[in-house]
Amino acid sequence: MTANSTDQNHLICLGFGYTAGFVAPLLQTMGWQVSGTTRLKDKAALLRDKAVTPILWPEGNEAPEVDFSSVTDVLVSISPNESGCPALDILHKIRTRMPTLRSVIYFSSTGVCGDHQGAWIDEDTPLTSTLRRGRHRLKAEEDWQSFGRDENIPVIILRLSGIYGPGRNAFVTLKRQGTAARRVFKEGQVFNRIHVEDIAAITSLAFNRLVDGTPPPHNVYNLADDEPAPPQDLIEYAAKQMGWPVPPLVPIEGADLSDMARSFYAENKRIRNSRIKQDFDYTLLYPNWRAGLDALASIDGA
C-alpha cells in the first residue's frame, strides 16, 4: 500500500477551511482523492472548482446520504465546543459506512499548553490552559485519542500555532484597519506562528507516513516557527514593507480589544518545534515570521 495508489487513498476533511485548502492540493498531486464537508452551497461550488468532492452537511449534524465506503483517512479542522468536538460526533454517525478507515489527523492548537510566563515548552510540558477554548481543545484531543484506541487506528494531534499565509497576515490586517491600526504592546509577550504552507507540508508527510506503514513515533506534535515574537514587531515590519507609517504603540491596558482578542494575551509561552523536525526530517519553509512576510509581500503587501 503506497501513498500514490489512487484507488486506495481518499481523504475526507471534516470542516474544509483555510488550512485544508492548502493540504488538499498537495495530496491531490500524489493521486489522493479529497472530499470536504461544508454547510454552504456556495462553498460547495468552490470546492468543486478545486477538484474536491463537496459533501453538503445539513443542520443538526444528521449524516447525509453519501457513499463514504472509499474513505481511508480523515482530517479534522472543526473547532470544539462545550460538549466536545462536533466532528467526532459526525464520525461516530458515519463510522460504519467507512470500512477502510485507517487514520485521523486532528488540528488542535498550542492554546492547550496554557501560560508558561514566556518559557520554552515542548510536547511533554504539562498542559495548564485555564481559558475556556483551551480546555475545549484539550478535551477534544483526549476524545480523539480515545476514539483511536477504541478503533485501533492511529490518531495524530497537530497543535497549531498562530496560522498565517496568503490572505491572512499582517499586511491584510493593516489594510483592513487602515488609519485605525495600532500596535498592541504587553511587556514580555510573544507568540509563535506557523505558515499555512508548512502546516500543509507536515500534514501531507504525516498522512503518507501512515499510509506507507511507517507511522511517526509520536502522536502529538507542535507546529510552530523557530522565532516567537511580539505581535507589534510584525505590524511594524509589514508597515515598513508597504511604505506605510508605522502605527502607534498602544499598551494593552489602553487598547480597544474584544474579550476574545484580549484573552490571547493571557497566556505567554515559547513553543519548541524540534520533535516535528526530528521525526519527519523536516525543514521549515518559513522558519520565522520575517521569511513568511517577505514571501507574502508581493501577494498581500503591494
CATH number of the domain encompassing residue 49: 3.40.50.720
Give a yes or no: residue 181 inside a domain: no
Phi and psi at residue 191, to the nearest 5°: -135, 145
User: How far is it, in rounded angstroms, from Cα 222 to Cα 147?
Assistant: 21
Instruction: Give pLDDT, residue 2.
Output: 34
Instruction: Give pLDDT, residue 95.
Output: 93
User: What is the residue whose three cell numbers read 499565509?
Assistant: 165
* Domains of the chain: total: 1
User: How far is it, in rounded angstroms, from Cα 67 to Cα 151?
Assistant: 20
Give a yes or no: residue 258 inside a domain: no
User: How far is it, in rounded angstroms, from Cα 273 to Cα 61?
Assistant: 36
Instruction: Give pLDDT, residue 8.
Output: 83
Instruction: Give pLDDT, residue 6.
Output: 40
Encode burial over 151-179: b for 16+ CB neighbours within 10 A, e otherwise: eeebbbbbbbbbbbbbebbbbbbbeeeee
For residue 152, what are the domain limits? Answer: 10-164+193-227+268-286
Give a yes or no: residue 293 inside a domain: no
Give a yes or no: residue 239 inside a domain: no
Give a yes or no: residue 59 inside a domain: yes
Give this prediction's pTM.
Answer: 0.95
Give a yes or no: residue 248 inside a domain: no
Instruction: Give pLDDT, residue 55.
Output: 93
| Residues of the chain predicted below pLDDT 70 | 1-7, 60-61
Give a yes or no: residue 263 inside a domain: no
Give a yes or no: residue 301 inside a domain: no
pLDDT, one tens digit per residue, over 74-107 is 999 999 998 889 999 889 989 999 999 999 999 9
